[in-house]
Amino acid sequence: MARPSFSLEQVRSFVAVAEHEHVSKAAASLFITQGAVTQQVRHFERAMGLQLLERDGRGVRLTDAGRTLAVACRAALRSMQVLEDTAESMKSLQAGSLHLGASPTCASYYVPTRLAEFAQLHPGIKLDMTVAPSADLNRQVLAGALDCALIEGEPDSELLAAILDHDELILVAHRDHPLSTLLRVTSADLALHRYIGRVPSWAAERSVREILGEAYDHTDSLNLGHPEYVRAAVLAGLGYAALPRLAVAADLESGSLKRLPGPSSRRPIRAIRRRAQGGPALEQFWLLLGREASRAAVAAGAQRS
């Protein structure tokens, strides 16, 4: 096998610059000089035969080639870290790391308790979490840049997936909103008012489209991204939204928000990972998620009976 024409230090420098979009900040994060980072990245670009960065005011930004290669580089660094973690921990989990991804809904309502339990069991494990749309998380897990992720969207067919829980999207509006006074809400009613959403490409919006029907394409909309931003806008009376029941449970109980008499959408919350054996931290976290899923299934069965 031919030796690569680039070094691990060059890959680390490029990833640091890609994440910070600033050479001096990248240098500070690596504890080396700005000149060293610049030289490493230039050597890496020369080895790749591609322009990966371009100047953007006082900082830098990734070219299209740079964005594509950055994902592969993060995956390569993650593979090296898993190797180091395995050697260091010797499966005792006294050291190591877990790189977890989560969609915004999962990051807010499904990850914290599970991650807290894992951290209590294994305090020596360094934790890192990336919050992104489900489609992006699929790509990062598949590439190996993330160990695993919790999503509410569809998993990539090449990944291993397990259902952990279920989430329900419901229509809500401020208690003083005109829609809150209706005993029955139709698509025509919804089309007359502003819809507060995330971003059309996000997984949750596909479920919302099914809930709203024709109103989804005919209503005035305001896209805010994170569900907590959406919730804040609805509480301010800017419009109506489809939000996870868990996200608005306290608001419904206090009366600040009202659930609109319309359809809802029940979605599975899944954990995803690559099928190959992972590092010790991933394998232990996956076992914890499996136990959580089993407990949730038993509780759901008891409620149905």
For 141, the token pair is 């897990």
Inside any domain, residue 151: yes
User: Do residues 205 and 197 touch, judged by C-beta distance below 8 A?
Assistant: yes
Please report which confidence band the pLDDT of residue 182 belongs to, taking 50, 70 and 90 as the band edges.
Answer: very high
pTM for this entry: 0.66
Both 111 and 237 in one domain: the answer is yes
Please report which confidence band the pLDDT of residue 16 belongs to, taking 50, 70 and 90 as the band edges.
Answer: very high
How many angstroms from the chain centroid is the CA of residue 225?
Answer: 12
Helices (H) and strands (E) in the chain, counts: 13, 11
Where do we find the tokens 């959408």? 265
Both 20 and 153 in one domain: the answer is no
Q: Cβ-count burial of 54 within 10 angstroms (0-12 exposed, 13-18 middle, 19+ buried)? A: exposed
Inside any domain, residue 241: yes
CA neighbor of 96 nearest in space, from 75, 68, 124: 124
| Radius of gyration (C-alpha) of the chain in whole angstroms | 23
When divided into structural domains, the chain yields a total of 2
Q: What is the mean pLDDT of the chain?
A: 88
pLDDT at 174: 97
For 14, the token pair is 């490029």
Both 199 and 65 in one domain: the answer is no
User: Do residues 138 and 157 touch, judged by C-beta distance below 8 A?
Assistant: no
Q: Model confidence over 25-45: pLDDT tens digits?
A: 999 999 999 999 999 999 999
Inside any domain, residue 89: no
Give CA separation, 134 vs 103, 105, 128, in Å.
6, 10, 17
Task: Return all residues near 268 (Cβ < 8 A) that are at least 6 apart.
Answer: 152, 163, 165, 166, 167
Q: What is the extent of the structural domain holding 292? A: 96-305
Look up the CATH number of the domain holding residue 44.
1.10.10.10
Both 56 and 111 in one domain: the answer is no
